[in-house]
């Protein structure tokens, strides 16, 4: 059974689809694409059914990533089938942990930048939605910097399951 990772931001049109596509690329590069499934969602349903923000699509394509996406809202029932829920900021972390049906489910929720040793104490990926294109580039950089640490943690878990 595949190890499932879901990235979550507010509306699922900026940060979480960006993290989904970056991490999916890292998983494929590592040869784990048959063992790890990558997805994303939002804590709120405002943009459900919409594509990613055009600025997200532009920065992803500019850096060679895929960008096909349809926004959706995270549901509490998903905890039963997801192994790791990656929040993009502390507000999402709190919301998702409150939504979790059990303590074990709440423990599945982690902050993305907690996997970046250089992040220090600032573990939020700021929402670029209300800013300009530079904010989307900065968001992509933070996501890319956290991805190797997250991949190492996921790889350790996947290899532990195979043993």
Write out the chain in H/E/C secondary structure: CCEEEEEEECCCCCHHHHHHHHHHHHHHHCCCCCCEEEEEEECCCCCCCCCCCHHHHHHHHHCCCCCCCCCCECCHHHHHCCCEEEECCHHHHHHHHHHCCCHHHHCCEEEHHHHCHHHCCCCCCCCCCCCCHHHHHHHHHHHHHHHHHHHHHHHHHHHHHHC
Q: Is 15 one of the catalytic residues?
A: yes
Catalytic residue among 6, 14, 15, 26: 15
**Long-range CB pairs of 103-107, under 8 A, 24+ apart, other chains included:** 105/79, 105/80
Give dist(CA 20, CA 6) in Å, integer.
Answer: 8
Instruction: State yes or no: is 124 an active-site residue.
Output: no
9, 55, 113, 124: the active-site residue = 9
Whether 81 is a known active-site residue: answer no
Known catalytic residues are 9, 15, 127
């Amino acid at each position: 059974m595949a190890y499932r990772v879901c990235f979550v931001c507010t509306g699922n049109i900026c940060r979480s689809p960006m993290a989904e596509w970056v991490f999916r690329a890292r998983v494929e590069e590592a040869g784990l694409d048959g063992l790890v499934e990558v997805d994303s969602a939002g804590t709120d349903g405002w943009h459900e059914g919409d594509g990613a923000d055009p600025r997200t699509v532009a920065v992803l394509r500019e850096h060679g990533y895929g960008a096909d996406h349809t926004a959706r809202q995270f549901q509490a029932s998903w905890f039963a089938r997801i192994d790791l829920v990656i929040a993009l900021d502390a507000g999402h972390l709190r919301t998702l942990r409150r939504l979790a049906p059990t303590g074990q489910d709440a423990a599945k929720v982690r902050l993305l930048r907690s996997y970046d040793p250089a992040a220090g104490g600032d573990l939020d990926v700021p929402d670029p939605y209300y800013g300009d294109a530079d904010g989307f580039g900065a968001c992509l950089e933070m996501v890319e910097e956290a991805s190797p640490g997250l991949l190492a943690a996921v790889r350790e878990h996947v290899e532990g399951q195979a043993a």
